[in-house]
A and B are shown apart, each in its own frame.
Chain A
Amino acid sequence: MSQGNMNLTLKVWRQKNTQTAGKFVTYKAEGISPDMSFLEMLDVVNESLIKKQEDPIHFDHDSREGICGMCSLYINGRPHGPKRAITTCQLHMRSFSDGETITIEPWRSAAFPIVKDLATDRSAFDRIQQAGGFISVNTGGVPDANSTLIPKVIADEAFNSATCIGCGACVAACKNASAMLFTSAKITQLGLLPQGQPERWSRVQAMVNQMDEEGFGNCTNTGACEAVCPKEITLMNISRMNNDFFSAELFREEHTHDGGGNG
């Protein structure tokens, strides 16, 4: 079925579930076409494993368009593989050479427990968003969309942060397993927009607290997160978050005139 002529050796992390220990297992990937995506190459390997009644390699994936953020994989020591600004599903085998050995690992972070093989549990990211990554508006009863003017540069910059896909590469690449790039992207998006101002200070505090509670590390300005981010979210987001976090101390409700009381 496959029409390619690349032959590769894969060293893949296999782990039955969160509780058991894992290990590297070596597989041959043969007849691989350079036009295949990395995940399609794994599909070929999995089909051959199933044919032998063996357990296929479990990895997360869904849209395969670089947008859902579900795929992950640490490939040859780099999240999402050797190319910049793309996810694993957009990585094609033409980026590798015939005969190469490829090491494939899951995201490595205590806050992302391994579910099975290469799939991890990233629900900590959801909990950070649940802590405050929103604007408190109910459906209906909102003003006309054009009643608030937003300068194009601000809207564009907010978009640049909003483009985060929540894949977790930033955490995987960071020596401290910090989630600050991820958290700061949402804080920056909403903090830049006029709609996000009313909850700006409480949001940053809630999200940062949750981030700490999940066990993510701190930022020491190495910039590995920025380098591997498939959506090229910049360190500027972290600076903005830090700035807001410190400002938030000054604007805390209990420090304001009426103490945010019941009125």
Chain B
Amino acid sequence: MSLNANIPQGPLAEKWSKHKFNLKLVNPANKRKYNVIVVGTGLAGASAAASLAELGYNVTAFCFQDSPRRAHSIAAQGGINAAKNYQNDGDSVYRLFYDTIKGGDYRAREANVHRLAEVSVNIIDQCVAQGVPFAREYGGLLDNRSFGGSQVSRTFYARGQTGQQLLLGAYSALNRQINLGKVKVYTRHEMLDVVMVDGHAKGIVTRNLITGDIDTHAGHAVLLCTGGYGNVFYLSTNAIGSNVTAAWRAHKRGAYFANPCYTQIHPTCIPVTGDHQSKLTLMSESLRNDGRVWAPKTVETAEKLRKKEITAAQVKEEDRDYFLERKYPSFGNLVPRDVASRNAKEMSDEGRGVGTSGLAVYLDFADAISRMGEDTVRAKYGNLFDMYYQITDENPYKQPMRIYPAVHYTMGGLWVDYNLSTNVKGLYALGECNFSDHGANRLGASALMQGLSDGYFVIPYTLGDYLATIGPKPVDKNHPAFAQTKQDVIDNVNKMLALKGTKTVVEYHRELGHIMWEYCGMARTEEGLTKAKAMIKELKADFWKNALVVGENEEFNLSLERAGRVADFIELGELMVTDALMRRESCGGHFRLESQTEEGEALRDDEHYAFVAAWEFKGENQEEELHKEELVFENVKLTQRSYK
């Protein structure tokens, strides 16, 4: 069965304009008769909630944190791309479109990506109008920097805290609407299910994380803006609370999950120190603008470094291998993330890794410091250097940073059409929660762009079309589906509370993470994935027998919260492995060892795999069914990506 993505007809650059004209409108007086549910208050959720409320809709928003300002978008460091061409360096909407399609290894939809590039310019205008303090030049104009996978400077930034500033901008827009009475926010609430009425999403079930109250909420549409699922790997750069539960429960109610195996491993993270590690910290990709990545040329030198017999500074220039500059002279240290990550792993696999674990390479600023001076480096990257120092107790101004890849972003997510609608009517997915714009690999500084594009500039148009179609009749909360779905959630909670085995849910989570990282991480094989699938099935069975959950529902209960999230991660993990097994090609973040070029780069198989894999849930412990959305490329020529 093939899926209809509802991509508008016509030339690429005119699709969005024409589509906006063709979409139905809800008249201003009727907008106040609709209630829209927004789950998650990160960039996508906060911007959508605020923009829809500004239009006149009533919005109910939910987040599991204690304030909408804390969603994990806040942690994005480096910047946000926009095709402003303020630098006069040859940028354009088409170039941003092209870079994004190519960076995604030709596994994204042309129409979506072009729209993203088009609205990118509006995002910057919007954020500046809100008072977002982007970096500026001395003349008072906005400053830009460059990011991986691009040869122009189109990244806008606010020191190393761009995500924070953009989120606080969206949060301020949200606050304004709360103040005006158009948005009601429920904090410390977790969405645990979607209520389906006659094939349409009409509400959600939530658990109040403090009191344990399980409630239903009705709406004419439900927008999931719940972020990515990187924590399936246990260790990732995601926040501890980031989870797949909302998306996964929606999946189990019929929403297809697309390209789950596309995960991004970020090359520049602080290496793991031990089993106690609860999360990994990213060092912004922007550091690769001035930092040089290297490993020792020989295993012997690496050995001495690992044993701390010598320091990095003592390694002579001729004994260093600046491997990215050597292998990719035109992009150098700024190759896309998947390429940089695989190369770092290769160094460690060859025994040339550094640090006590040998799982690290250097990111060296010595040249930058001698070229620009320590003060300039501090002004550009100070907060990142400080963070590194806090965590490692090593001064990066004096010795090179040690970095290693870590799970950072998930390109896969709920399948959506051009309107950001899942295949379930009335259920939408925005931001990292959907699969739509990054293909098999996301370029740096594009996540913030997509989250805000979806929330500020896409959903306010596309949602109206659906709402106009269904009409403003109030949603009836007395429909039995509400009571039934709530009962399902209560039953599930009770099932978890009854688990009185011996292993904590954190232990299961860690174990799942090991399986995923080992077999479904940076390099994947038929054999490994097959093994992983069996291991996850076993883990799942064991979880429902031997897990230990303490406490009761009617209280703030961290053990119960985590249990629900881990149970969903285990099921998702199995689907990721299934997807990775099915896709017998390499593309972007999905690297199958069986499919590589002679030079060790990802080798696509466009003839057989130029499609989006959308998986349908078929029942507990059943194999999911694959639906394909063929990707049609009318504007770009599919080529082997080269950054040499």
Contact = CB atoms under 8 A, between A and B. Distances in A.
Interface of A: 1-4, 16-17, 33, 35-37, 39-40, 43-44, 46-47, 50-51, 53-56, 58, 60-70, 85-86, 90, 92, 94, 115-116, 119, 121-123, 125-126, 129-140, 142-146, 148-152, 155-156, 158-159, 162-163, 165-166, 189-190, 193, 195-196
Contact of A155 (B135, B240, B278): B135
B130 A134 contact: yes
A148 B128 contact: yes
B404 interface: no
Sorted nearest first, the 3 A-B pairs with minimum C-beta distance are A149-B140, A134-B172, A142-B129
B278 A40 contact: yes
Nearest to B548: A50
A54 B551 CA distance: 8
A190 B172 CA distance: 11
A62 B127 CA distance: 25
A172 to B, nearest CB: 15
Contact of B548 (A51, A68, A94, A115): A51
Nearest to B163: A67
B54 A65 contact: no
Contacts of A163: 161, 164
Interface string B137-161: 1111110000000000000001101
Interface of B: 47, 50-51, 54, 65-70, 72, 74-75, 84, 86, 122, 124-142, 158-159, 161, 164-165, 168, 171-173, 175-176, 178-179, 185, 187, 210, 239-241, 273-279, 281-282, 386-387, 390-391, 393, 456-457, 460, 500, 502, 504, 506-507, 548, 550-551, 555-556, 558-559
A69 B54 CA distance: 28
Contacts of A92: 390-391, 393
6 contacts: A2-B275, A64-B278, A68-B74, A90-B387, A152-B138, A155-B134
A63 B387 contact: no
A119 B556 contact: yes
A53 B164 contact: no
Majority-rule SS of A interface residues:
loop
A119 B558 CA distance: 12
B140 A62 contact: no
Contact of A63 (B75, B86, B168, B276): B75
A181 B142 CA distance: 28
Given A17-B555, A123-B187, A195-B131, A62 B72 contact: yes
Contact of B158 (A40, A56, A159): A159
A16 B273 CA distance: 34
Contacts of B456: 139-140
Contacts of B159: 159
A69 B281 contact: no
A137 B130 contact: yes
Contact of A131 (B126, B179, B277, B393): B179
A58 B74 CA distance: 23
B278 A150 contact: no
Contacts of A70: 65-66, 70
A116 B75 contact: no
Contact of A130 (B158, B175, B548, B559): B175
B133 A135 contact: no
B395 to A, nearest CB: 14
A88 B555 CA distance: 25
A43 B510 CA distance: 13
A128 B546 CA distance: 46
B613 to A, nearest CB: 31
Given A33-B273, A61-B240, A152-B136, A146 B175 contact: no
A63 B74 contact: yes
Nearest to B132: A162
Contacts of B165: 159, 162
Contacts of B185: 126
A86 B390 contact: yes
A43 B559 CA distance: 12
Nearest to B390: A90
Nearest to A3: B274
B179 A145 contact: no
B133 A65 contact: no
B48 to A, nearest CB: 10
A193 B140 CA distance: 12
A62 B72 CA distance: 8
Contacts of A158: 131, 133
A107 B65 CA distance: 17
Given A65-B282, A159-B133, 12 more contacts: A17-B555, A50-B559, A62-B65, A63-B240, A65-B239, A67-B161, A129-B171, A134-B172, A139-B47, A149-B140, A162-B132, A162-B165
Nearest to A65: B75
Contacts of B390: 66, 86, 90, 92
Nearest to A134: B172
Nearest to B143: A152
A92 B65 CA distance: 24
A116 B551 CA distance: 13
Contact of B281 (A65, A126, A140, A196): A65
A123 B168 contact: no
Nearest to A87: B390
A17 B68 CA distance: 22
Given A133-B175, A149-B141, A138 B54 contact: yes
Given A136-B176, A152-B137, A142 B72 contact: no
A152 B379 CA distance: 13
B131 A196 contact: yes
Contact of B140 (A123, A130, A150): A150
Contact of B175 (A16, A66, A119, A134): A134
A57 B35 CA distance: 38
B281 to A, nearest CB: 6
Given A116-B555, A134-B130, A44 B276 contact: yes
Contact of A94 (B172, B210, B393): B393
Contacts of B50: 139
Contacts of B239: 62-65, 68
The residue in B159, B179, B457 that gathers the most chain A C-beta atoms within 10 A of its C-beta is B179
Contacts of A166: 67, 69
Contacts of A132: 179
A250 B54 CA distance: 31
A53 B273 CA distance: 29
Given A2-B275, A3-B274, A35-B274, A193 B65 contact: no
Contact of A55 (B277, B506, B551): B551
